[in-house]
Amino acid sequence: MVAKEPTAARDLGSRIRRRGLMLVLSSPSGAGKSTIARNLLESDSSGLELSVSVTTRPRRGSEIEGVHYHFRTMREFERLRDSDALLEWAEVHGNFYATPREPAELALAEGRDMLFDIDWQGAQQLKEKMRADIVSIFILPPSMKELKARLKRRAEDQESVIETRLKNARLEIEHWKEYDFVIVNDDLDRAFAEVRAIVAAERLRRDRRPGLFDFISGLLDEKTE
């Protein structure tokens, strides 16, 4: 169970109109990004939504169509890509993954926050298109040994798939410098608290809060006698 945000966090300050933010989480496979993302989605009472990606990868036993991914054939994926329905796409570990364009653009236009669990290639593409709206976090494992142990413990992929993911981990980690924040996921509670702190601070950024103009002009007009 994850604690909900305190009610105070939703008081006056958070009612001031602001732009939505696009929270990008990336990590080598197995570092714990999906676990942190899930905790965040469950605990965030301010309505952070998950961008549900399209993928050609086979569905894992625990995954639900439309919740974790939109599972599609390669032919369907190509059709989406060719009709410009994808905001970004990439090949990762031999499968294709993409962010559907419409939900993300709508969320941004309506001032809702969205979470993107995507790799460094996707993060680069989103940054090129929407730099001002992106907050990116790279999650590292405490060690490569622990990364391997987590991939095995997750027990949702075949041995050969785990080997590919481990091999790719080093290449992915090389992209750490492209992110705004870097978190080492040693202790899950602490890593999660760090992600929440980043989200809370980013929501308060002045340039994300056009509503401050009205609020402050109201403050200055207010009579105290």
Looking at 49, 121, 198, 209, which residue binds ligand 5GP (CB under 6 A)? 121
Looking at 92, 115, 135, 140, which residue binds ligand 5GP (CB under 6 A)? 92
Binding partner of residue 99 among ligand 5GP, ligand ADP, none, CB under 5 to 8 Å per kind? ligand 5GP
Q: Does 117 bind ligand 5GP (CB under 6 A)?
A: yes
Cα 118 from Cα 135, distance rounded (Å): 13
Burial class (CB in 10 A: 0-12, 13-18, 19+), 215: middle
Q: Does 33 bind ligand ADP (CB under 6 A)?
A: yes
The answer to whether residues 33 and 25 touch, using CB atoms and an 8 Å cutoff, is yes
Cα 168 from Cα 163, distance rounded (Å): 9
* 12 vs 67 by CB, closer to ligand ADP: 67
* 31 vs 137 by CB, closer to ligand ADP: 31
Looking at 5, 9, 16, 35, which residue binds ligand ADP (CB under 6 A)? 35
> Which residue in this structure is represented by tokens 């290639």?
121
Q: How far is CA 194 from CA 120, 137, 153, 184, in A?
A: 20, 10, 24, 10
Residues at the contact surface with ligand 5GP, assessed by CB under 6 A: 26, 29, 53, 57, 88, 90, 92-93, 97-99, 117-119, 121-122
